[in-house]
Structure 1
Amino acid sequence: MSIRHGLLALLERGPRYGSQLRTEFESRTGSTWPLNVGQVYTTLSRLERDGLVAQDGEDDAGHALYSITDEGRVELRNWFETPVDRANPPRDELAIKLAMAVGAPGVDIRAVIQSQRGHTLKAMQDYTRLKARALADVPTNRDEVAWLLVVEQLIFQAEAEARWLDHCESRLVRLAEAAATEPAARTPGTPAERRSAKAGGAGGARMGTRR
């Protein structure tokens, strides 16, 4: 999530102060990614350092206002026009957890999958209820439409995760079935016993040659 670009997008609509930006950001995204005021002002300081925003006096209540600069508008346009890079995806805790669970001693990976699936489906139901409430009244202002886009993305993301978990479970079942049908090793016994038997056979062959 690019907080700096989100703040630039809000500032393009006019001068704003820190807590106002936080409120509008959370209203636009339905508080899905909450910000604290300190985080907002830290980001504003960096944007000002980079020449993308500038302080623009104070409002009647004494709040320090910030405005976007021409350089900031160029940066914002580039952000909107450039696709989000998927070449280096962020770390996904669930994917890492399942990868580490494969073959881990004492871990029932299918139980891990089933537990996560239940959690994911519940989250999807919760998001769907939020969407239904949002659609109870036809969205008219931009904040309502923006929040609807965010909650629909969360629904699609949960649906995709549930399908992926189903796929993981099916793959594990197929691997277990394939392992169960593999033929037994031709030579019985432990590796040490097989090496001993092989050495004994070679010794007998040498003695027969001397006779």
Structure 2
Amino acid sequence: MSVQNGFLALLTQGPAYGSQLQSEFLCRAAHRRQLNPGQVYSTLDRMSDQGLVASAGATDDGLPLYALTETGQAAASDWLTAGPADGRPDWDEMQDQVLIAASLDGIDARAIIDGYRAAYAERIRYLSHEADSRALLAANRAAELGAKAAIEWLDEVAATLAAQPGALVQHRSPERPRRGRRPSAEATATSE
């Protein structure tokens, strides 16, 4: 879900085309190595089917632009203001959400950071009471160390944002990604 939510968040900054969203997502969530173009367009198709995005015309050279619907705007706002969806936060989801939120102008990522910090602190408290066998002890210790690392990283991001508000904000790149989905012949024929 973080790719879909990341796209929704990026679209709060205005309409974009698929390869532009892919490039912006990877630039802002630099911990990700790649994002498959097939995943990009299947995600956009699914978002369109869910009523989260709608067509916003096309670029001068025919690349379809996507924009948020009211439902998509509400979903983006929810994701940009809340911490983890449940008590078992995911490391990659956390990084996506914190880094993308902090990279957007006008978004205060502190609520997200606080939500994840609280979830990881609760996870540590829970794990400290669950060690009743050697195998469980080893697994819980690994999870505990992961939660402590997450809290340490969140504290560093929070300190950066407190010392330099807007330090992580990135504006859309003026460079155009080389590829993008061209309209199908069928779509072109129906629009004429």
Q: With the length of structure 2 as denominator, give the TM-score of the two structures.
A: 0.47
Q: Which structure has greater helix proportion?
A: 1
Which one scores higher on RCO, CA 8 angstroms, separation ≥ 6? 2
TM-score of the two chains, using structure 1 as the length reference? 0.43
From the CA coordinates, give the structure whose radius of gyration is larger.
1
